[in-house]
Amino acid sequence: MSDYDVVVIGAGNGGISAAALLARQGRKVLVLEQSASIGGCCSTFEKNGYKFDVGASIVEVIKPIEMAFAKLGTTFQREVDLIECDPVMTIIDRDGSRITYPRSIDATAEVISSFSPADGKRWYKFVDLMREFTEVALNAFFPQPADTLADVAKMVAKDPRFLKFLPLFINSYQDIMEKYFKDERVLKTMGYQSLYFGHPPAMIPGMFALIPYTEHLGVYYPRGGMIQIPEAFRRCGEKLGMKVMFNTRVKKVVVRDRRAQGVVLADGTEITAKVVVSNINARTLYLDLIGEEHLPGLVRTGIKSYKYSKGVPMIYVGLDYSPPLDSHHSLIAVTPKGVNDYWFNNVEKGVLPKDNFGLICWPTHADKSLAPEGHHVLNLIPEGFYRLAGTNWDEEKPRFVDRTLTALEKFAIPGLRDHIKVLECTSPLDFERRLLLPEGAIYALQQDLPAAAVFRPNARSRAIKGLYLTGSSTHPGGGVPTTIASGLIASNLIERYEP
């Protein structure tokens, strides 16, 4: 007799959503989380009265999340107070000029047409393509398992329009952008978003070019911080008897006769379970927690062949004034080619760039309750990466923060430093230490075509029976809605295969 029906390792979005859904199936579920908080990369912490989001700063493409809450007998909107962010973003160039895109497709066409009438017309063609593709993706791709070629065939059968979009998988993000937009100023507003998937525009499939469109379907911020999303799953799960233990690190998955039978904690305690769900990096899971001795040769080679996804530093700033910004998200303008150059000349060589770009998140634009009255919060995501040539993040962090603030003062937020009341930075090395993300990898594994869908570690392990994967490591990959889709997929597979 096992202690639990299901033990879940990690309380990130993938783990906590799967756990709640499994509790809904009537299973006895235990979630083990090594940190003191729910949500992993999608959580929120407080310092001196300011609330900062650890990583994720908005949620969009919310259908998979709505599907998960519907399965729990409730709605996303009932569980989480979602504030819509309109405008969806402002792009700030180094000469100080700004372009702001509203949510409305038509109003965005007007903005683009004001400086490039031809691209303004092509914006509608781009929207037509991406509207239909997004429908197909949400229907047939994101919430379905992609473990085998038969699963892919089922995706096509579910929505045969899938085939029409094969060119989006063969062409790159950059190909799609440059096909639809010719004006450099427009391209500068849509280059950076490829890094939302962890790769430069030349290296990721064109399907990811849906982001500059889906931002106009609605960008949302949960009142109270991003942690409200995993908290809502926790609340729903706990009502159904699910238990969560914090500060509890899993050291080993117990495998006997090629079947997962439970876990061993860092203090040596063994907890038995009929099914184990992993929400942690798949390389760590298979190579460290399970151990190579339990893996067939091909699986060993396969799992070692994955590279970690990119890491990023985050700078959290508490301010005593309202910063001169226009949107919840501001991006520093960069062309697709500029992002590629950064990748090949900086990331691959370990040299941080002099002229950095990235994202400025201003959550108190949407939700004033995150800071004392009249005060504001900024979460900055300047581009950066784990491996630094000739130095390390503990040495580099103060210089990096200083350079970033100096640059932002020059062309984006004049006078910023005079108003800082709280300043913190989480480097990729800190992400590795605090959330056990190897190399600070925010999407666990590379997210290019060779590691997508059937090529990503399976949701239902074929090497170890009774073992299921959720989170960024498995299909459909990193991101808040996608990891929740993975929770949905794992719980559906467990319902089917583990009666």
Ligand X SMILES: Cc1cc2nc3c(=O)[nH]c(=O)nc-3n(C[C@H](O)[C@H](O)[C@H](O)COP(=O)(O)OP(=O)(O)OC[C@H]3O[C@@H](n4cnc5c(N)ncnc54)[C@H](O)[C@@H]3O)c2cc1C
Q: Considering only the stretches 56-64, 69-77, 82-90, 235-243, report the one whose residues sit in contact with ligand X under the rule CB under 6 A.
A: 56-64
Run of H or E residues at 264: strand 259-265
Closest approach, Cβ 187 to ligand X, in A, equals 22
Binding status of residue 164 toward ligand X by CB under 6 A:
no
Calculate helix-pair angle for 393-411, 428-435, nearest 10 degrees: 120
CB 219 within 8 A of CB 84: yes
Binding status of residue 62 toward ligand X by CB under 6 A:
no
Binding status of residue 59 toward ligand X by CB under 6 A:
yes
Q: Considering only the stretches 125-133, 136-144, 155-163, 472-480, report the one whose residues sit in contact with ligand X under the rule CB under 6 A.
A: 472-480
Residue 15: closest CA among 300, 255, 263 = 263
User: Which residue type does 361 have?
Assistant: C
The two three-digit tokens of residue 461, written as one number: 């392990």
Nearer to ligand X, 112 or 408 (CB): 408
Q: How far apart are CA 387 and CA 369, in angstroms?
A: 37
Nearer to ligand X, 42 or 129 (CB): 42
Binding status of residue 227 toward ligand X by CB under 6 A:
no
User: Which residue type does 292 have?
Assistant: E
Q: Is 40 helix (H, G, I), strand (E, B) or coil?
A: coil
Binding status of residue 381 toward ligand X by CB under 6 A:
yes
Q: Is 171 helix (H, G, I), strand (E, B) or coil?
A: coil
Q: State how far the alpha carbon of 32 is from the alpha carbons of 8, 82, 244, 251, 384, in Å.
A: 6, 28, 6, 11, 30
Kindly give, in sequence order, each residue whose CB lies less than 8 Å from that of residue 187, ignoring residues fewer than 6 positions away: 177, 178, 181, 335, 336
Residue numbers 91-130 binding ligand X by CB under 6 A: none
Binding status of residue 474 toward ligand X by CB under 6 A:
no
Residue of closest CB approach to ligand X: 12
- Site map for ligand X, 307-346, x if CB under 6 A? -----x-x--------------------------------
Residue numbers 425-454 binding ligand X by CB under 6 A: 435-437, 442-443
Calculate helix-pair angle for 228-239, 480-497, nearest 10 degrees: 20
- Site map for ligand X, 20-49, x if CB under 6 A? ------------xxxx----xxx-------
Nearer to ligand X, 181 or 221 (CB): 221
Kindly give, in sequence order, each residue whose CB lies less than 8 Å from that of residue 329, ignoring residues fewer than 6 positions away: 57, 58, 85, 88, 89, 90, 219, 359, 360, 361, 362
The two three-digit tokens of residue 232, written as one number: 């809502």
Residue 468: closest CA among 257, 246, 279, 190 = 279
Binding status of residue 55 toward ligand X by CB under 6 A:
yes
Binding status of residue 9 toward ligand X by CB under 6 A:
yes
The two three-digit tokens of residue 432, written as one number: 């590795």
> Tokens 């959580």, residue?
43
Nearer to ligand X, 42 or 203 (CB): 42
Q: State how far the alpha carbon of 262 is from the alpha carbons of 26, 284, 322, 400, 462, in Å.
A: 19, 17, 50, 43, 17
Binding status of residue 485 toward ligand X by CB under 6 A:
no
Number of residues that bind ligand X (CB under 6 A): 37
Binding status of residue 250 toward ligand X by CB under 6 A:
yes
Q: How far apart are CA 126 and CA 119, in angstroms?
A: 10
Binding status of residue 56 toward ligand X by CB under 6 A:
yes
Nearer to ligand X, 122 or 283 (CB): 283
Q: Considering only the stretches 8-16, 133-141, 208-216, 234-242, report the one whose residues sit in contact with ligand X under the rule CB under 6 A.
A: 8-16
Nearer to ligand X, 13 or 335 (CB): 13
| Terminal-residue alpha carbon distance, the chain | 15
Q: How far apart are CA 121 and CA 195, in angstroms?
A: 26
Q: How far apart are CA 134 and CA 391, in angstroms?
A: 42
**Residue 443 gets which letter from DSSP?**
T
Q: Considering only the stretches 5-13, 93-101, 300-308, 401-409, report the one whose residues sit in contact with ligand X under the rule CB under 6 A.
A: 5-13
Q: How far apart are CA 424 and CA 431, in angstroms?
A: 13
> Tokens 């200083």, residue?
402
Binding status of residue 472 toward ligand X by CB under 6 A:
yes
Q: Where are the alpha helices (DSSP H) in 443-479?
A: none
- Site map for ligand X, 265-304, x if CB under 6 A? --------------xx------------------------
Binding status of residue 14 toward ligand X by CB under 6 A:
yes
Nearer to ligand X, 108 or 278 (CB): 278
Residue 188: closest CA among 81, 98, 251, 117 = 98
Closest approach, Cβ 387 to ligand X, in A, equals 17
Of these, 11, 62, 127, 254, which contacts ligand X (CB under 6 A)? 11
CB 225 within 8 A of CB 368: no
Q: Considering only the stretches 110-118, 179-187, 408-416, 470-478, report the one whose residues sit in contact with ligand X under the rule CB under 6 A.
A: 470-478
Q: Considering only the stretches 186-194, 341-349, 362-370, 479-487, report the one whose residues sit in contact with ligand X under the rule CB under 6 A.
A: 479-487
Q: Considering only the stretches 12-20, 77-85, 113-121, 461-469, report the one whose residues sit in contact with ligand X under the rule CB under 6 A.
A: 12-20
Binding status of residue 10 toward ligand X by CB under 6 A:
yes
Residues near ligand X (CB under 6 A) are 9-15, 32-35, 40-42, 55-59, 249-250, 279-280, 312, 314, 381, 435-437, 442-443, 471-472, 478-480, 483
